[in-house]
Amino acid sequence: MSGLTRWLHEQVVAERHSWIPWLAVALGVGVAGYFLLRFEPPLWFSGLWFGVATVLLWQVRHYLPALIGASAVLAMALGFMAAQWRSAGVAAPVLERSLSGVMVEGRVLGAEPAAGGFRLVVAEPAVERLSPEQTPALVRVRVRGNGVPPDVGSRVRIRAALLPPPGPSAPGAFDFQRQAWFLRLGAVGFAFGQPEVVESGQIRLGGGLVAGLRQAVFRRVTAVLDGDTGAVAAALLMGQRGSISESALTAMRDAGLAHLLAISGLHMGLVAGLLFFAVRGLLALVVPLALGRPIKKWAALAALVGVFGYLLLAGAPVPTRRAFVMTGLVLVAVMLDRTALSLRLVAWAAAVVLLLRPESIVGASFQMSFAAVLALVAFYEVAGPRMRIWYGDSGPLRRFGLYIVGIGCTTLIAGLATLPFAIQHFNRVAVFGVVANLLAVPLTGLWVMPWAVLALLLMPFGFEALALIPMGWGVHWILVVAHTVAGWSGAVLLVSAMPAFGFAAVVFGGLWLCLMRRSWRWAGLPLVLLGLFTAGHGRVPDIWVTGDGRLVAVRDGGDGLLVSSGRAAAFARGVWLRRAALEQWSAFPKTGASDDGRLTCDGLGCLYRAKGQIVALVEDAAAFGDDCRAADVIVSRVPVPRDCVRPHTRISPRELRVGGAHVLWLEPGGAIAANVNAARGRRPWVPQ
C-alpha cells in the first residue's frame, strides 16, 4: 500500500462517524440528478443502475475504501430510483388548454383562506367539455368575495375559468408546473361567483379528515382572534398562512421571522418538550408510578403521539415532516435509553423525507430547513459540552442569560447556514434577523407556544378562548417586533442569485464543513466563500417576456424595470424584480419616450434601444412594415411575417408556445436568448 493510499485509508477510517451522513448526501445526489436531467429516462434504467450497484457492493465488500465508494453509488441509485418512480406514480392528466366558463363539480378536499377570498381544492372533479380521460385528478379554484368556504368533504358545483398550471416566469425561477405534477394538480383557475353546495360535507378518513380538522381549528382560532393576530396564531398552530395580510407577511420576512410561520423544528421541539415535561410531571405526582414505572419513557411516548397529531394538523409540509422525523427519533432514543441528537439523526431524517417525497429536494423548504439543522447540530456537537458545563454551574439569572446567548448563537448560525438558499430562492437577506429573533423567539417559546398547546387541548371542550386570548397578546408583540425591525433603514439586502457552479460550491463546502470531524473540515469554508462571492455578479437580462406574451419588461437606465402593463402578470413581474435584485418598476409610456429615453412607444408598439441594439416590441401587425426594416430584435404578441428577415432574434407566439417564458441579454454584436423549456428539457411536467 503506497503512502498516499495509506493516508487516505487512515482518513476514511478516522471519519467513520460521518459515513452514514455522507450516504444520505449520496442519496440526495441521486435524487437531484434525476431532476437535473433534461430528458426522461426509461423506468428500467434506475432499476438496472440499482442492480449493478448492488452487485458491485457485494464484490468489493472486503476492501473498505471500495466498499464505501460502492455504498455511495448504491445510495445514489436508490435516490434516483425513488425520484423516478415517484414521478411515474403520481402521473395524472393535466389540462392542455384554457377553458372559460365551464362547470366544475367535485368534492372539496381543501378550503383555505387567501387574500380577498379563499381557495378550493376539488377532488374527483367532473369538468364540462372534458372527458374522464382528460379530467385532472385535482383542480384548484380561487374564489373571491366574502363568502364562507364550504366544508371539507362537501360536494360543490362552481362555474370557473380553468388554465393549465403555469410554467416558470424565467429560466431558473420557481417551477410551479413541477410542483403541481407531484401534487397531482392538473388545473388552476378562478371562479365566477360562489360555489353551490350540492351535497353536505361527508368527511372521509385520511386527507379529508385532516383537512376538515384544519378547517375547524382555523375557524375556532379566528373566531376568538381577529386580523393579523388571528391569522398568525392560526399559522403557528397549523401552518396556514393564506389569511395573513401582505404587509404582515412582508414585515415578518424582512425582519427574518418568516420561519416562525412555517411549522418546523422550533415548533415541534417546543410542543414535544411541553408535552413531555407536562406528562412526566403529572405521572411523578403518583408515587407508585414514579418509583416503579418508566414514566420518562411513557412521557416520551405521549409526546410522540402529540407531535404526530401536530404534524397532521399542520398539513405535513416538508419542514414539518423533517421536524417530525427528527423529533420522533429523539423521543424514540429517549425510550431506548440512547443518545438522541446527532448528525446521524439528521441524516436518517433526510433519508426518510427524500425517499417518501423526493421532489422536496428542489424546494427552498427542504434545503433551508436541513441546512439550518445540520449547521446547528454540527456546532453544538463541538460547543455543547462546554455550554452544558456553564449551564450546570450557574444560577437562575445566569441560566436565563445563557438561554438568550443560546438563542443568539442559534439564530446567527441558522441564519448563516440558510443565507445562500435565501439568496438563491428569494434574492433577499434580512440584515437585522438576529436582533428580531432575539426578541421574538423567547416570546414564542416561553409564552406563545405554551398557550398554543393548551388551546389545542381545550378545543374539544369549547374552552379554547381561555388560552387563545393570552396567546394573542404574544402574537401581537411578535408582529410589533416584525414591523419595527423591518422598518429600519437597510433592513433588507437584495442580491441576485448565484450561478449553478457557485451554488454547488456553497452546498458541497457547507456539507464538508459540517460533516467532517478532523481539521480538514475547514477546507469547506473557502468553497462556501467562493460560492457566495458569485452572488450578485451574474448578468441581469435586458428583456423579459412571459410565456403567453402578455407582459414584457425591459431594463431602464437606472435600477428598475419598465413593464408593458401594470396590471397583467403581477406575479411574473415580482419574480423578475426579485431575480434581478431590483425594487422599482414603472409602466411603459402609452405614447412618447420613457424618462431615460431608451423606450419610445406609440399605438402599435414600442422601440427599445440599448447596447447598440434596436428592439421592436410589437403589439399590432401594422408595425412590421417599419420594424422589420429597422429592428435588430423583434418581440411580438402577433405572428411575425416570413419576409421579416433583418432581425437576428425573434420572439413570437410560436417561440413562446414552444419555449415558454424568455429572457434576452443584449450585446453590441447581437443578443443571447434563453427560455424556460430549453432549460427544463422534456420532462413529464413540461408541456410538449
The model's pLDDT over 144-165, given as tens digits with 9 standing for 90+, comes to 988 788 888 889 999 999 999 9
User: What is d(CA 647, CA 581) in angstroms, rounded to the nearest whole number?
Assistant: 30
pLDDT tens digit sequence for 270-283: 788 888 888 888 88
Strand partners, 560: 584
Burial class, 337, CB count within 10 angstroms (exposed 0-12 / middle 13-18 / buried 19+): exposed
User: What is d(CA 600, CA 615) in angstroms, rounded to the nearest whole number?
Assistant: 11
Report CA-CA distances (Å) from 92 to 120, 180, 196. 19, 10, 26
Q: Determine if residue 168 is left, alpha or beta; phi over 0 gives left, psi from -120 to 50 gives alpha, anything else beta.
A: beta
Confidence of residue 669 (pLDDT cuts 50, 70, 90): confident
User: What is d(CA 83, CA 683) in angstroms, rounded to the nearest whole number?
Assistant: 13
> Which residue is associated with the grid cell 385532472?
136
Give the residue from 589, 501, 485, 608 showing the smallest Cα distance to 544.
608
Q: Which of 79-93, 216-230, 597-611 has the highest mean pLDDT?
A: 79-93
Asked if 389 and 65 count as a contact pair (C-beta separation under 8 A), the reply is: no
Q: What is the pLDDT of residue 205?
A: 45
Between 285 and 292, name the one with better pLDDT.
285
Q: What is the pLDDT of residue 519?
A: 83
For residue 585, give the amino acid letter: W
| Count of CB atoms situated within 10 Å of the CB of 305 | 11
For range 204-218, the mean pLDDT: 69
Reduced to 3 states (helix: H, G, I; strand: E, B; else coil), residue 158 is strand
pLDDT tens digit sequence for 449-474: 889 889 988 998 989 999 999 999 99
| Count of CB atoms situated within 10 Å of the CB of 589 | 15
**pLDDT above 90 for 319:** no
Reduced to 3 states (helix: H, G, I; strand: E, B; else coil), residue 306 is helix
For range 410-431, the mean pLDDT: 87
Reduced to 3 states (helix: H, G, I; strand: E, B; else coil), residue 113 is strand
User: What is d(CA 311, CA 304) in angstroms, rounded to the nearest whole number?
Assistant: 10
User: What is d(CA 645, CA 628) in angstroms, rounded to the nearest whole number?
Assistant: 7
The grid cell for 102 is 365551464
Reduced to 3 states (helix: H, G, I; strand: E, B; else coil), residue 524 is helix
User: What is d(CA 410, CA 218) in angstroms, rounded to the nearest whole number?
Assistant: 31
Q: What is the pLDDT of residue 411?
A: 77
pLDDT tens digit sequence for 631-665: 999 999 899 998 888 898 999 999 999 999 999 99
> Strands, E, within 115-137: which ranges?
117-127
335 CB contacts (<8 Å, ≥6 apart)?
A: 297, 300, 301
Between 31 and 61, name the one with better pLDDT.
31
Burial class, 317, CB count within 10 angstroms (exposed 0-12 / middle 13-18 / buried 19+): buried
Asked if 524 and 513 count as a contact pair (C-beta separation under 8 A), the reply is: yes
Report CA-CA distances (Å) from 471 to 227, 446, 457, 618. 14, 11, 14, 56
- pTM for the whole thing? 0.87
Q: What is the pLDDT of residue 203?
A: 52
